[in-house]
Amino acid sequence: MPFGSIVGHHSTIASLQTAVSRQRLAHAYLFHGDNSIGKRTTAVSFAQALNCDSAEPTRIDGCGVCRSCQQIEARTHPDYFVIEPDRELATPQIKIEQVREIEQQIVYRPLIGERKICLIDDADRLTISAANALLKTLEEPPDHSLFLLITSRPASLPVTIRSRCQSLRFATPARTDVEAALILKREMPPSDARLLAMISEGRLGEALSTDLKQVRAEQQELLELMSPDSLRSITTLLAAAESVAKADRATELLSWLARWIRDLVIIQVGGDRDQLLHLDHVPVLERYARQAQTDALLSVLSDIDHTLRQATRHLNLQMALENILFRLRDAIMTSVPQPVS
């Protein structure tokens, strides 16, 4: 993909293009920033720009269609290597063997391109021995070599590696940029694009691959659960907590509850309505916002955040979910008598 098709990251890309045009490249770059916002896409575009076959001296972008650009995209280019952890494993790691294998290749001159390029995705997953092996190469990199390290957790990389790389921080793209990209690439109506852009919080990669139907179904489920009839019925809340927890969807429902509460609080404090997720349901939200206690809502919200952070360790998500649903019910339905315990 040429640089021009990337969503956001304009100044980062401009600095890479300047480096390409002046032929003043570092031997190693560290691209860091949130997950799924375009770091790897940019790295691939960078590799294409450097090894593109279209012979223009002022070239600062890959054409995307020549053999070299296509081979880089398909990871079959003989001068382009990708190292990444096996993400199927419980603890994905980049092993020393993977680094050694590439190092044996990278010392030789490029076969067809200008540079030998090694992209290391999720570089924070390097084992200590793999990181040490890589460090040796980064300390004395072959002239024609370029390493592109990508991570969303730069602090987890050894300082010695980070100090050998030119660091480029990727900011999360604006919601409007993600919306525009969804409308263009997925041909979505603006209201759907808005919903996905908000839920993905700027992570375009996620927004592009999310199943819209499923998201709409989840939203509908949340709205039904938050209807006055459901909230009044303890049986309904208990049944919902049980079925959601059994289907391993507790964290998903908790995230929806958190977004719903945020909408209520935005209305209560007179915040920017453009920030509302459930923009099509404002009258309902307003009714709840009038009767709910902000402090109690914020307290439930912080509980949800805490539960989500502990979710992998949490022994009983069903119980946590029940507790949060009851507290939320108390916060917004003050006229409903407290359940007898």
Contact residues for Zn ion, defined by CB under 5 A? 52, 62-63, 66, 69
Between 62 and 202, CB nearer to Zn ion? 62
The span from the first CA to the last CA of the chain, in angstroms, equals 60
Toward Zn ion, which CB reaches closer, 30 or 43? Answer: 43
Instruction: Give me the least distance between CB of 62 and Zn ion, in Å please.
Output: 5
Nearest to 265 by CA among 177, 328, 197: 328
AA letter at 217 = A
Of 259, 263, 155, 261, nearest to 200 (Cα)?
Answer: 259
* Residue 61: CB minimum distance to Zn ion, A: 9
Task: Please tell me whether residue 209 adopts helix, strand or coil conformation.
Answer: helix
Q: Minimal distance in Å, beta carbon 110 to Zn ion?
A: 15
204-210 LR contacts (CB < 8 Å, sep 24+):
204/7, 204/8, 204/36, 204/37, 204/38, 204/173, 204/177, 204/178, 205/35, 205/36, 205/37, 205/38, 205/41, 206/35, 206/36, 207/178, 207/181, 207/182, 208/181, 208/182
According to DSSP, the residues that pair with 150 across neighbouring strands are: 31
The structure tokens 């099509």 sit at 280
Smallest gap, in angstroms, from Cβ of residue 97 to Zn ion?
Answer: 32
Cβ atoms of 46 and 16 within 8 Å: the answer is yes
Q: Which is nearer to Zn ion, 1 or 298 (CB)?
A: 1
What's the closest the beta carbon of residue 55 comes to Zn ion, in angstroms? 10
How near is the Cβ of 72 to Zn ion at its closest, in Å? Answer: 9
Nearer to Zn ion, 63 or 298 (CB): 63
Q: Would you tell me how many other CB atoms lie within 10 Å of the CB of residue 254?
A: 22
User: Residue 52 or residue 195: which is nearer to Zn ion going by CB?
Assistant: 52
Q: What is the closest distance, in whole angstroms, from the C-beta atom of residue 284 to Zn ion in the complex?
A: 52
For residue 151, what is the DSSP state?
A: E
Which is nearer to Zn ion, 48 or 307 (by Cβ)? 48
Question: Whose Cβ is closer to Zn ion: residue 55's or residue 155's?
Answer: 55
- Burial state string for 150-178 with b = 16 or more CB within 10 A and e = fewer than 16: bbbebeebeeebbebbeebebebbebebb
In the complex with Zn ion, the residue whose CB is nearer, 62 or 113, is 62
Instruction: Let me know: does 80 contact 71? Beta carbons within 8 Å.
Output: yes
CA distance 298 to 331: 10
Closest CA to 194 of 121, 273, 78: 273
Q: How far is the CB of 296 from Zn ion (least distance, A)?
A: 58
